[in-house]
Amino acid sequence: MVDVGEKAVSQRVAVAEGCVRMAPATLTAIEAGNVKKGDVLAVSRIAGIMASKKTADIIPLCHPLPLDSVSVDLVADADLPGYRVTARATTTGKTGVEMEALTAVSAACLTLYDMAKAIDRGMEIGPIRLLEKSGGRSGEWRAAR
């Protein structure tokens, strides 16, 4: 692991995004609550939050962080068709939370797929990317839109 012992403690924020593309009928079924496994959006949101808290357990050399907050939002997008997934992670510490935000998005997308795969095995996940980060020595960064 990288030595962060000499780094200053600061407020750190990261936002990541991903999407799950699906057949229009799958989007309709999820929106209507007609998926046998249950509430796809609620379960996916919780899976993302839970995964962010386990990032250091699944990503080698990633520092375990005390997270101040994690939010995961899933928004229907008929133009995909599918869902846009966004995660925001914050901590006060010596290293950033980019990996936690990316892990949250990844797990939420995978869970959405798992919940709806009986309807549509052809769903596509991605791209997943970091949108922005702030805090620490490198300051603020935003992805080109």
Which of the residues are catalytic? 114
Pair of tokens at residue 85: 């997934």
Cis geometry, peptide bond prior to residue 60 (ω within 30 degrees of 0): no
Q: How far is CA 50 from CA 46, 70, 133, in A?
A: 6, 9, 20
Cβ contact 64:119 at 8 Å: no
Q: What are phi and psi of 106, to 5 degrees?
A: -60, -50
